[in-house]
Structure 1
Amino acid sequence: MGGGLGVGFLIAIILTLRICVYAFPGWLNLRQFELFDPTIYSSSMVLSSLGDLVINAFLFFWIILFIRRELSEYTIPQSIHPWKNWVWITIGLALLVVTTFEFANIVQSLVTDAKISFNVTNFFSLLTNYSFIGFLALAALALGYFFFRRCCSS
């Protein structure tokens, strides 16, 4: 039970801090940095810049790794009532489908809507800081999604 409380506490604290950063942007004044410029990349209110995408991707990856470490021994108890098992399976599959579509939407918007080059056929177009940071964000999202999928399927 202690692992579940720790996971819940971590998620609550991170969500609270991220909501505070979005609600009160003057506290950290992140817009002063070029990475947080919405003209480079902006797809939604939550992903309003490349910097926000990187922060959210690394926080997602960190949370998933923490959950995996803390709850690695946990298995969903098999109930004598089959409908309870189906509820857990349905919740896991729904989470997996939603995260799959959200991940695909983020990747698509990063490649098509951003002013960042992901043209891998032209190597010299990739030699920008934004391309490197975009690839880091994609790697963090992909690894986080991979570990999340492993958590949902086990």
Structure 2
Amino acid sequence: MPQRKPMKNEPCPVARCVDLIGDRWSLLIVRDAFDGMRRFGDFQRSLGVARNILSDRLRKLVEAGVLEMQGASDGTAYQEYVLTAKGESLFPVVVALRQWGEKHLFAEGERHSLLIEKHTGKPVPFMAPTAQQGAVLAPSATEVQKVS
């Protein structure tokens, strides 16, 4: 299988984002990190991914500054993968994907997970881009502008 061309020089932020976290495993690693997973074995059990693939994706996420390695919080010799501030800023991306999936990928009444606010126990409100005045923006109300 031919190696895909890296998009690190693409002028499109979406292309660069997809290059880093757009594959199945990287985004699910980030999701699991938000759910509190930190150890290699925990990620592997959750995802069922081959060790070499998991190692590669974790390495790339660390190199990109999305995760960092720290000594284990329980004092053991293990290393743990922890979201950095850059990684935590992916939270709205994960929430938006989750909410889109909840809305479009499950049949009525089908079992699925739901993101709730710990403080209230209520579902997190649906995320949507808003205009400067606070109104929800439709795709037709936006355009991409090239900046240098």
TM range, smaller chain: under 0.3
TM-score (norm 2): 0.26
Higher relative contact order (CA 8 A, sep 6+): 1
Bigger strand fraction: 2
Bigger helix fraction: 1
TM-score (norm 1): 0.25
